[in-house]
A and B are shown apart, each in its own frame.
Chain A
């Protein structure tokens, strides 16, 4: 297209008087590239690109990179969350962590969360996406409706599940009416059931999100494969396993990675279903929950120790990410 241009191209950045809303006094602050020797635009005022990107850089450094470095530093101190003198304590926080059974319990809960939630979150939304993929009358309504749990905040969903799972809540009442159980299932007082209920909540809230994610991926699976298999007499289940799943492998790997990282970040679900203590005696606390408890409590908190646990959480996340990357690579080759 550029070859057809007959008018000489004005050198950018040298515009003299132009119509338009940019006031001339502001012109000095606006970026103006001029053609460099190799044809690439070069900015005459070298600092202009920096000015335009500065807020993003500052935010990334101040609220992203620096806090992490500071977390590592803090983990060698006994800083208090609300200030006061802090001193260097060497590896004390880390040795304390290794002996801390509550820390290991939280780690176990977080890992268990990922182990149970990830496979379900990879498969269930995919099945749901297959269900709503076909254009049927009213399918748009179903798609939107399945998405609504994503919109509600975890707090609202938690409140709703609290009342659903209470001893005299809807689930227990219905099960009793159907004579499936004699006494109420203690969803909200037994530590295992709280953990499982929280996982259910995470799944329920994520279904719609990943359904939409998979819908985009399903569009790339060739329709002809399905038709050919159907003619050869393959049923819906076999086509799902042998055509759909291989067709969306990459999307599944990505969902697995995202939900794995997400599982390690769970906090609100436990807070809402297991109350602010994180289950009876804190038995359902996840790592973020534990970090908040030990590191940020205004009175008993030890930001140094909380930082050490934070480093452990980061290491776990990093390990999971690397594992996922490796699996993806192996999958591709």
Chain B
């Protein structure tokens, strides 16, 4: 009796041979681990190097992969010698401002564009599409001049403003709102919901996935952005984390490599946490066609 019960349970669980021939499986897993080493290896090495003490080599023939005496000393040093807290605060300010403005204005504009019945929709559509045609790098000179004329050089507002609300996010939200079935809105109208209530309690909750994509994409692009902050920001006190980190590279500063690695790890952690929490929507963001290389 016990054996039959066990057999039944076994049949429910997949067995190794259900996955294919043994040789194919071995090759697949070998390849998987090889790619794992190539993709995660450098980042993992960075993490391990940041945990090494000063007595251990990071480079050269004597360097080992694992730290013999793991220590957080490099993290203490990086916080002591470099204004990391200020970098992090500045990055977070830009991220928070960008997410707020992107979210509020891409949903409202996307909602209106998903509605028929007002003149000028097509014109708005054309303007939005046109604004996406120009690669940032080909307009950055004139963007900088605009920011200069606004008196925002070397300010976080100057870093934030060009990313105020992106046309791509408006189009994304419009698509999500269009997917809401007409019947549901009709019945909401029947129940006497006015347009604001329908937007707030019907449309926004049903576009949850797209909203997450906007939040995630905005977070990553603002947190990881480098070229624009490099152009706009001048003084140490206003620098964002990527900018501060890039300055650690030049050997003229004479910083310890373990410290640079520690700084890198600090900058990856927030995005990694976000990734773990919101993994489901991350992949959606890719398939929704956002441009990235």
Give the interface of A toward B (CB within 8 A).
Answer: 1-2, 5, 7, 9-10, 12-13, 15, 18, 20-22, 26-27, 30-33, 36, 40-43, 46, 49-50, 52-53, 55-57, 59-68, 70-71, 74, 79, 81-83, 121, 128, 131-132, 134, 136-137, 142, 144-149, 151-164, 166, 168-170, 173, 176-177, 202, 204-209, 212-213, 215-216, 254, 258-259, 261-268, 271-272, 275-276, 287-288, 291-292, 295-296, 303, 306-307, 310-311, 313-314, 317
Least CB distance from A313 to B in Å reads: 5
A295: which B residues are within 8 A, CB to CB?
141
Which of B77-85, B104-112, B207-215 is the contact stretch? B104-112
What's the Cα separation between A63 and B248 when bound, in Å? Answer: 31
What's the Cα separation between A9 and B227 when bound, in Å? Answer: 54
A12: which B residues are within 8 A, CB to CB?
189, 194-195
* Count of B interface residues, CB-CB < 8 Å: 108
Query: Of B28, B63, B137, B242, which is within 8 A of A313 by CB?
Result: B137
Of the A-B pairs whose beta carbons lie under 8 Å apart in the complex, a sample of 25, sorted by A's number, is A32-B195, A41-B115, A46-B118, A52-B109, A55-B105, A57-B124, A59-B105, A64-B139, A67-B139, A67-B142, A70-B142, A148-B39, A155-B242, A157-B42, A204-B38, A262-B293, A264-B135, A264-B137, A292-B140, A303-B144, A303-B145, A306-B141, A310-B138, A310-B142, A313-B137
Question: Is B134 in contact with A64, judged by CB distance below 8 angstroms?
Answer: yes
Is there a chain A Cβ closer than 8 Å to B25's Cβ?
Answer: yes
What's the Cα separation between A116 and B1 when bound, in Å? Answer: 64
A43: which B residues are within 8 A, CB to CB?
117-118
Least CB distance from B166 to A in Å reads: 8
Within B91-148, which residues are at the interface with A (CB < 8 Å)? Answer: 101, 104-106, 108-109, 111-113, 115-121, 124, 127-128, 130-146, 148
What's the Cα separation between A314 and B121 when bound, in Å? Answer: 27
Question: Is A134 in contact with B39, judged by CB distance below 8 angstroms?
Answer: no
Is there a chain A Cβ closer than 8 Å to B61's Cβ?
Answer: yes
A74: which B residues are within 8 A, CB to CB?
141-142, 145
Is there a chain A Cβ closer than 8 Å to B275's Cβ?
Answer: yes
Question: Is B130 in contact with A60, judged by CB distance below 8 angstroms?
Answer: yes
Most buried by B among A56, A59, A261, A310: A56
Q: With CB as the reference atom, state the residue of chain A lying closest to B227.
A: A267
Query: Of A136, A147, A163, A202, which is within 8 A of B19 by CB?
Result: A136
Is there a chain A Cβ closer than 8 Å to B180's Cβ?
Answer: no
B20: which A residues are within 8 A, CB to CB?
134
Is there a chain A Cβ closer than 8 Å to B7's Cβ?
Answer: no
Query: Of B142, B249, B279, B291, which is within 8 A of A144 by CB?
Result: B279
Knowing A68-B138, A79-B145 touch, does A155 contact B245 (C-beta < 8 A)? yes
Least CB distance from B120 to A in Å reads: 7
Knowing A30-B194, A145-B40 touch, does A60 contact B127 (C-beta < 8 A)? yes
Question: Is B140 in contact with A173, judged by CB distance below 8 angstroms?
Answer: no
What's the Cα separation between A239 and B148 when bound, in Å? Answer: 57
Least CB distance from A71 to B in Å reads: 4
Question: Is A173 in contact with B60, judged by CB distance below 8 angstroms?
Answer: yes
A-B pair count, CB < 8 Å, reads: 350
Q: With CB as the reference atom, state the residue of chain B lying closest to A215.
A: B283
Question: Is A267 in contact with B292, judged by CB distance below 8 angstroms?
Answer: no
A59: which B residues are within 8 A, CB to CB?
105, 131, 164-166
Knowing A65-B131, A71-B142 touch, does A152 contact B271 (C-beta < 8 A)? yes
Question: Is A153 in contact with B267, judged by CB distance below 8 angstroms?
Answer: yes
What's the Cα separation between A10 and B156 when bound, in Å? Answer: 48
Least CB distance from B3 to A in Å reads: 25
Knowing A10-B189, A146-B35 touch, does A2 contact B183 (C-beta < 8 A)? yes
Question: Is A166 in contact with B161, judged by CB distance below 8 angstroms?
Answer: no
B61: which A residues are within 8 A, CB to CB?
173, 176-177
What's the Cα separation between A31 and B194 when bound, in Å? Answer: 9
Question: Is A265 in contact with B137, judged by CB distance below 8 angstroms?
Answer: yes
B200: which A residues are within 8 A, CB to CB?
21
Question: Is A311 in contact with B268, judged by CB distance below 8 angstroms?
Answer: no
Least CB distance from A176 to B in Å reads: 7
Question: Is A317 in contact with B19, judged by CB distance below 8 angstroms?
Answer: no
Question: Is B135 in contact with A147, judged by CB distance below 8 angstroms?
Answer: no
A128: which B residues are within 8 A, CB to CB?
35
Most buried by A among B108, B116, B124, B137: B137
Question: Is A142 in contact with B142, judged by CB distance below 8 angstroms?
Answer: no
Knowing A60-B130, A131-B35, A259-B293 touch, does A152 contact B190 (C-beta < 8 A)? no
A63: which B residues are within 8 A, CB to CB?
131, 143, 146, 161-162, 164
What's the Cα separation between A166 and B36 when bound, in Å? Answer: 22
Query: Of A65, A275, A310, which is within 8 A of B250 by CB?
Result: A275
Is there a chain A Cβ closer than 8 Å to B281's Cβ?
Answer: no
Query: Of B42, B104, B113, B140, which is within 8 A of A160 by CB?
Result: B42
Least CB distance from A215 to B in Å reads: 8
Extra contacts besides A60-B127, A64-B139, A173-B61 (14): CB < 8 Å: A59-B105, A70-B146, A81-B141, A136-B25, A136-B28, A149-B39, A156-B268, A163-B46, A207-B39, A267-B137, A272-B246, A272-B249, A291-B138, A314-B135
